[in-house]
Each structure stands twice: as C-alpha cells, then as structure tokens.
Amino acid sequence: MKVLFISDNRCRDNLVPFPLGIACVASATAQAGHEISCLDLMFSRDPAADTVERIRAFRPDCVGLSLRNIDNQDKYAGEFYPPAAREIADAVRSETSAPVVLGGAGFTIFPAECLEYMDVEMGIVGEGERSFVALLERLEPGAAVDDTPGLALRRDGGVRVNPPGPHAWPGLFPPPERRLFDVTRYDWKPDNDHPFVANLQSRRGCHLRCIYCSSPTVEGRVIRVREAGAVADELASLQWDFGIGTAAFVDSLFNYPAQYTRELCREIVARKVSLRWIANLNPLYCDPATMEMMREAGCVSLSIGNESGSEDVLESLKKGFSREQVISAVKGARDLGFRINCFLLLGGPGENEATVKESVELMEELGPDMVSVTVGIRIYPGCELHDIALREGVIEPGQNLLYPAFYISPETESWLYPYMREVCDAHAGWNL
C-alpha cells in the first residue's frame, strides 16, 4: 500500500522537535513492504495546500495523521491545536477517499474525543509500529478492521477502543529513519546557536504513579528497553551521518533501570563520539556512579524532574521521592559539572503559601541553571488528579477534557500566577 504520514505538530514551544514517533512508525511500515511518504507541516506556510499537493503527487491508499500535542498545557496563555488538525483532515478528505488514521501521544490520551472532533473514523492508540502495520494488513485486502489491536473505531454514534495487544518491544523494530525528514531543520530553539538537535529514545514506559501524569497512558507502565548497542549506534550515527551536535533523550526516566543506563553509557563510550547529549532524570534513582558514567559518555545537561521542594506536596503528587532526594540529586549533578534544569509544578492538591515558599527557597538554595515553572496542572483522563478534580467539583462527570481543564488548589488560585511571574522575573534562568 502507499501510505502518507503527516505530522500535524506546528507548536514551536521549547524547540522544533523532529517527528520521532512518525519516523518510528514509518520505518516499521516500510519494513513491512509498504511504500511511504512523509510530510511535516511544521515548516509549511500553507499546511492545507501542502497536504493537498502531496496527496495529488503521491496518491496514497492510507493517510496516517500524527497528533502529538493537543494544547500547550498552559492555564494562563492556552493554545488549542485540534482546530488546525481538523483543517488538515478536511484537506485530506477533499482530495482522496483513502482512510485517515490518527495516532500519536495527544491522540492516545483522547482517542474518542479526537475522532469525534475531527470527524475521523479510526486511529491507533499507543505505539504504532505493530498496530498500524496490522491495520494496513487488514485494509489492503479490504478485510474487516474491527479486531486490530489498539484500534479506536468510531461507528454507530460511539467509539470502541481495542486493547493494544502486546507491547511493541522497541528492539524488534528498525530504528527511526532520519532520512524521512530533513534533520537540519530541527533545533533546540529557532534562534539559538545549537544547530541540529536530534531526539532519540532508549526505553519506553513508566511504572510510577504521579497523580497528574499521562505518560503511563501514552507509553504503558511496563518499561521496555532497546538493545544498548543499537541505541549507541543510533547516537553515533546522528553525529557521523547527520552532523548532529547535540542529542536529547526523550525517555522520561533515563536513570531507570540503572543497570541498563550504565550499560548504555559503556556502549556510548565505546563509540568514541564527541556529540553531547542531554537526558531526564528522576531524583528517586539518582545514584552518583550512574551519573558519573553519564558524564563520561558525553551527557552535559540534565533535566531533574523534582516538581516541588515541599515534602508535603511531593507526597500529595505521589512523586515517590523526598525533598532530601531532590537535594542530593541536584548537588550530585552539580558536583559532576552538569548543567541542570529543575521544575516546579505548582498549584496541585495541598499546595499553599508555605509549600510554595519552601519550593522557591529550595530552588534558590540549590541554584540550578534553569527552573521551569508551571502554575496549575492540566487534568488528564485516567490520572488520580482527575478523580480528585471530580471530587472537588473542579470538573464535572463526563466533561470533555480535550478542551484543557486545570487543577489549581483553592489556597493558591487567586495569587500564585502573578506571584510566580514576579519570582521568575527576579531570577535569571527561571521561566514561567
């Protein structure tokens, strides 16, 4: 079959990300014998017209449309992306009767809501490598698709979502094909001097139970690691074949399982690359020996997911680590010379003036290079925060959360945002 993949993401917050998810699914699709074409609308001046033009040129039998972001998770300066995505689905439909299949992280969190909003019949929830190829196998001979694992199907006024089937162990699939897109167009910030930042993934899944986080919904709770040598090869190839200077691991938990992280670092060292890389660490698993090996392997910058500096709030967010562990993670990272980015996710259940003060003071004391601050927490289905918000009347039963809703504790709602604006303005490297 001829399959056109379209990346709908046009958000440039933080960076211009290489469409890694599509690159993974497209590689698996090509490996299964299909002909593929990819279009990233990030660089498009007229996305609908470019979509139509590509469809005329390629004549696809199926169109995969990836929805990474639904919104920018900002309670105070919100952006909502589905209307623009809907225009793309409409443009596809205006040119071809080939089926449109939605997929991606945003879609996975809101499958029924996205299908309804975009008036599309089907999508793949979760990892696309196995399920999307299974769907194509059914579409090609015109067979019934209903039993496809991970399929969300909108029919007869309702949406049915099939269980995803066994996890697609990342190692079973080819690495994401970088040549599907022009890697030189992706960077950390459109106007800085870090050219060609590439993202890559060494593992999927998160077993933690943070009350607000949708990552387990997107990636699953079981951690699956890729073969360490293959990941190191991919990293080396980014430097040698594509001239990438900096790579960013997208793994939420780069330091878990630690044994695998250390094996990966050894493999990277053996490749003798000079490329620098960055990763996300959870304070729960920050042991100095692993961090030292990361440094030796070229890691220069760490995002440490502390989210708070208050013992009470860490507990109510169910972060699973203590304030002491945050302190020792940040100090340990600083001793090893890493550039450090910490986070404050403020306004969750139990947040009050004293806990905010504790968090701000801890960040001042530890002095990371950057502090990324968020006020108000986006409510996602399937998370414990969703139940809390329902109980407290913040949202109503059945509320469509595709339209962003946020939790902010009653004790902080009236003052926290302007207060944190002032705090951030007064501290270099703090961003709200």
Q: Per rule CB under 6 A, is residue 132 in the interface with ligand B12? A: yes
Considering only residues 329-358, where is the footprint of ligand B12 by CB under 6 A? none
Residues within window 69-108 making contact with ligand B12, judged by CB under 6 A: 69-74, 101, 103-106, 108
Paired tokens of 331: 């100090």
Return phi, psi of residue 180, to 5°: -70, -20
Instruction: Report the DSSP pairing between strands 224-225 and 203-204.
Output: antiparallel
Question: Which helix (H) or strand (E) segment is 217 a member of?
Answer: helix 215-219
Contact indicator for 44, 81 with CB cutoff of 8 Å? no
For residues 129 and 351, which CB has a smaller minimum distance to ligand B12 in the complex? Answer: 129
Nearer to ligand B12, 305 or 323 (CB): 305
Task: Pick the stretch among 127-135, 159-167, 234-242, 387-395 that binds ligand B12 (CB under 6 A).
Answer: 127-135
Does 120 bind ligand B12 (CB under 6 A)? Our answer is no
Q: Which is nearer to ligand B12, 86 or 331 (CB)?
A: 86
Q: What are phi and psi of 400, to 5 degrees?
A: -80, 105
CB atoms within 10 A of CB 85: 28
State in angstroms the smallest separation of the CB of 373 from ligand B12: 12
User: Cα separation of 272 and 286, whole Å?
Assistant: 25
Burial state string for 178-202 with b = 16 or more CB within 10 A and e = fewer than 16: bebbebeebbbeeeeeeebbbbbbb
Nearest to 86 by CA among 74, 62, 70: 70
Can you tell me which of 41, 50, 60, 64 binds ligand B12, judged by CB under 6 A? 64
Calpha distance 330→286 (Å, rounded): 9
Please identify, using beta-carbon distances, which residue of 37 and 252 lies nearer to ligand B12. Answer: 252
| Binding-residue pattern over the window 355 to 394 for ligand B12, x denoting contact by CB under 6 A | -----------------------x----------------
State in angstroms the smallest separation of the CB of 144 from ligand B12. 18
Under rule CB under 6 A, residue 199 binds ligand B12: yes
Beta strands 151-155 and 158-161, pairing class: antiparallel
Amino acid at 58: F
Q: What residues between 215 and 244 interact with ligand B12 by CB under 6 A?
A: 215, 218-219
Q: Give the residue, chosen from 248, 294, 360, 408, that forms a contact with ligand B12 under the rule CB under 6 A.
A: 248
Task: Read off the tokens for 260.
Answer: 């695998």
Q: Minimum CB separation from ligand B12 for residue 248, in Å? A: 4
Q: Where are the beta strands (DSSP E) in 332-432?
A: 339-346, 370-375, 377-378, 406-407, 430-431
C-beta closer to ligand B12: residue 167 or 262 = 167
Of the residues 30, 32, 236, 250, which one makes contact with ligand B12 according to CB under 6 A? 250
Interface size with ligand B12, residues (CB under 6 A): 42
Residues 13, 19, 22: CA angle, nearest 5 degrees? 145
Q: Which stretch binds ligand B12 (CB under 6 A): 6-14, 232-240, 340-348, 349-357?
A: 6-14
Kindly list the residues in this chain that would bind ligand B12 in the complex (CB under 6 A).
9, 11-15, 17, 20-22, 24-25, 64, 66, 68-74, 101, 103-106, 108, 124, 127-129, 132, 199, 201, 214-215, 218-219, 248, 250, 252, 378
